[in-house]
Chains A and B, each alone.
Chain A
């Protein structure tokens, strides 16, 4: 016999949850088969009499009691990945269910151990972190860690430490604070969500974005990074390229120098160099225009470059007609802040040039993008100190090596600063390229990496 479910009787919210009836849909006590949809007012829950069914019902009813209902957290917190927010909210809800005396050990569906094994087999550290937070404090926690530990014991060890850190966030506050549905003063979300779920989600986001621990030293680094105010752990990955689409462009004053030249040929309509009948063994008396694509200039505007906007501006003035792109990533940003900007292209230049965001983070993607932009073997110039970093602004040998490979393969010219790049554009050649001055990339180029 189906158990009746009473979401309408769940009261106590302080943020005006409208009183409308809910539709109950029969779900199951399995991951993904129970849900709380505030928009459609549908509560999908198991309606069986077992304790597991009861716990899943209690979990979903707790969502009705405390979760944001009229705002999209994903829109409110674009700096945190949605999965981190969702999993952190699962954790808060499970914690509150446990506080009321429900046996949260019943919250498991038997799939957790296999899930742990699979995640570890796939080497998916981020998913391991997300899943772990979602089952933290429930009956699914231990089997999941066992599954993980079978393949990746260091992950299991790190996750346990991480779990303690997440628990400390909620246990340090009162139940009324954690469950508060008072509108937050700063954001249009319940205070409990804002102060605890988002706090845990940020930790999850940071941890999931880190490089998976491969040795004890990595575990220690990750542990240190969990402390409040600590530096983000290395991610080992470049960030995703996000272009600034808000820039306004204006035409260059005066004539834009185009990079084209005339070449002599053996065919044509009008002989222009008759003298070549005598002087040229191939008798190339005709000529035609050969357009050479404009140079593509990439400018690293990270903090270590110490470039000011005026220096970039001077480069633009020296090189009209070039494609010029600046880049700098804000460490840890998940795509909310642009980290690359096209400052000049096709005879247009940006009215104002953005300043950098401290970190590098996107060296590799920006090089790849620039190489796709060049036409007719146009030159690619990279203004950099060679200190490439990952999305969390940690030095990364793997990314540096890939950048060095691109530099070598595509003959990208390296310049230490914008004035050197200006000279290169004016004279056509570098006076003396010095890869040894180009940081980690330079070390790979000169074979001094020792790796």
Chain B
């Protein structure tokens, strides 16, 4: 069975073709936003996973001990992407601390304005042509991000369904359901990851048992009933 590529993925493809270099992908988890950011459209990709504990040094770079009491400067992912003209993927941006968000404002600024000064050598680094940023977040409403940050990203696409290529590893009977399982809000959402786990589990045990492990006894039967009803007439 072939699936129509959901509109959100068609939009992303058009945006990539147009050469837009600042994109936010947001929406429910488990739809392949990060996967797309990492594997589509850029040969050199640096990934930055934001947490509350992420420091500015982990974004741009820091002095690290190299033994014998010596220290060496090591570029962070943002700076590496700048120097190589690659892609910076900023994952879970909504979880970044205030310091990091401020730094990201500078690192994701338009190419003409962005520059970074090395703290000791004074070297001025500017992003090389080709540098682009994809930010991902599970937020449903982008208003929760700072306006200045959003302003740097002219395109924001809500990804609410997996890409059809993302469900090909599943057994055929689960693919269609996996395409739409991420549509509802939690707790009714069934992500692609959960389908993948279910598919693996049921290859070693009863489907009912597999569903119970993943969703609990109360919801397993309801989950299986929905899949069963899909099969009527097949």
Contacts and interface: CB of A to CB of B under 8 A. Distances in A.
The 4 closest A-B pairs by CB, nearest first: A179-B233, A11-B176, A176-B233, A9-B226
B19 interface: no
Contact of B232 (A4, A7, A19, A99): A99
Interface in A220-262: none
A20 B8 CA distance: 13
Nearest to A174: B233
A97 B228 CA distance: 10
Interface size class of B (residues with CB under 8 A): 20 to 34
B114 interface: no
Contacts of B227: 9
A58 B224 CA distance: 11
A11 B231 CA distance: 8
Interface string B208-229: 0000000100110111011111
Interface stretch (A61-69, A134-142, A369-377, A439-447): A61-69
A8 B225 contact: no
Interface stretch (B103-111, B126-134, B185-193): B185-193
A12 B230 contact: yes
B234 A9 contact: no
A441 B100 CA distance: 96
Contact of A4 (B176, B222, B229): B222
Given A1-B218, A21-B183, A21-B184, A9 B228 contact: no
Contacts of A65: 229-230, 232
Contact of A62 (B177, B222, B223, B232): B232
Contact of A9 (B185, B190, B233): B190
Interface size class of A (residues with CB under 8 A): 35 or more
B225 A61 contact: yes
B180 interface: yes
Interface in B174-212: 176-177, 179-181, 183-185, 187-188, 190
B161 interface: yes
B185 A21 contact: yes
Nearest to B221: A54
25 contacts: A3-B221, A5-B188, A6-B184, A6-B190, A6-B226, A9-B177, A9-B226, A10-B230, A11-B180, A12-B230, A12-B233, A19-B161, A21-B183, A22-B184, A49-B218, A54-B225, A57-B225, A62-B229, A62-B232, A96-B233, A100-B228, A100-B232, A176-B233, A176-B234, A192-B233
B232 A9 contact: no
B6 interface: yes
Interface in B145-192: 161, 176-177, 179-181, 183-185, 187-188, 190
Nearest to A22: B184
A19 B178 CA distance: 12
Contacts of B180: 8-9, 11, 19
Interface in A394-417: none
Contacts of B183: 8, 19-21
Contacts of B230: 9-12, 65
A54 B228 CA distance: 13
A267 to B, nearest CB: 86
A13 to B, nearest CB: 9
B232 A96 contact: yes
Given A8-B180, A19-B6, A3 B222 contact: yes
A5 B177 CA distance: 13
A7 B147 CA distance: 36
B229 A58 contact: yes
Contact of B219 (A3, A22, A97): A3
